[in-house]
Structure 1
Amino acid sequence: MAAPYRLLFVCLGNICRSPAAEGVMRSLIEAKGFTDRVHIRSAGTGGWHAGKLPDQRMRNAAQNRGYELISRARQVTEGDLRDYDLILVMDRQNLRDVRSYDRSSEFGAKIRLFCDFCSVHQESEVPDPYYGGEQGFELVLDLLEDGCRGVLEHISSALA
């Protein structure tokens, strides 16, 4: 059997957007029967929340849609650029931060904005809901559900 496709979601602190993307994607992968063929993780560009569960507000909003967010926060590493097949960042600042690890400019093609995979929503970035209200978490989940469907389409062709 071929090595699993490795997918990494990245946001700022790894407690809202990227662990939610991980949870949404995991649900889609399980439904498609690709659990053994796709490895999913998330990370943050900052390490302030390392070891912590996702933000309780994000977990609640996700749980209301049937997603369980159980990953622990960690900071992205230079090795992640080599180890993952696709690294999806939530906004342009995350993109700059992750690309700064790519000192030899060899991994640029695999570092992409998450919203590039959205087909329903027109946003170019997934906004950070941390300092906002409940609606911010709902918008993030709307974007993640849309984009994760596109990501699944994208990686399904790689797994065919």
Structure 2
Amino acid sequence: MKILFVCLGNICRSPTAEGVVRRFAPEAELDSAGASGWHVGEAPYAPMQEAAMARGYDLSDLRARQFVATDFARFDLIIAMDADNLANVEALRPAGNETPVRLFTEYAPQSGAEAVPDPYYTRDFDQTLDLIEDCAKGLITTL
């Protein structure tokens, strides 16, 4: 299965989701992207990398890129970190394409979260990691 994770800038949430799911489902083809192009080519945000590394997730090989309409054809599933990212992705959907786009939090309904909070703004990298791990575990059960 080919899965793409999308957040706003592709430097915190979506690369972390990619790194976490990579550990749980090494057979899956994974990537991440940002709804914006602000950070194209950059490594994940240093404090996010540090928090992830403290739990054994190495994000250092990842680089930000922007989501593009052709991603709909390249992936079997696109997962957005919040409703705004989902709307931005859907706005680029090619006519007739049926690739599913889901919120990551749908895979952890027990969390009660409607979105994965952006630690770039909240500064709570551990809370974001906790939720991403819960969502990743739920996602894996569907693969």
TM-score (norm 2): 0.95
Q: For residues 85-110 of structure 1, what are the alpha-carbon distances to aligned partners after superposition, in whole Å with 9 as ceiling and x for unaligned?
A: 01000000001000001142533x51
Q: For residues 44-80 of structure 1, what are the alpha-carbon distances to aligned partners after superposition, in whole Å with 9 as ceiling and x for unaligned?
A: 0001101110000000000011100021000011010
Q: Does 1:25 align with 2:21?
A: yes
Q: Bigger CA drift: 116-125 or 51-60? A: 116-125
- Structure-2 residue corresponding to 1:46: 36
Q: Which residue of 118, 130, 147 corresponds with 2:120?
A: 130
Three-state SS of the structure 2 residue aligned to 1:130 is helix
- Structure-2 residue corresponding to 1:10: 6
Aligned residue type for 2:100: K
Unaligned segments of structure 1, at least 5 residues: 156-160
Three-state SS of the structure 2 residue aligned to 1:77 is coil
Equivalence map 1:56-95=2 (5 Å): 56-69=46-59, 70-95=61-86
Unaligned segments of structure 2, at least 5 residues: none
Identical pairs, percent: 43
Consecutive aligned runs of 4 or more in structure 1 exceeding 4 Å deviation: none
Separation of aligned partners in 2, 1:105 and 1:88: 19
Q: Bigger CA drift: 124-133 or 91-100? A: 124-133
TM-score (norm 1): 0.85
Q: Which of the two has higher C-alpha Rg?
A: 1
Report the aligned-residue RMSD: 1.2
Q: How many residues align?
A: 142
Cα separation, partners in 2 of 1:54 and 1:100, compared to 1, 3 Å:
same
Aligned residue type for 2:97: E
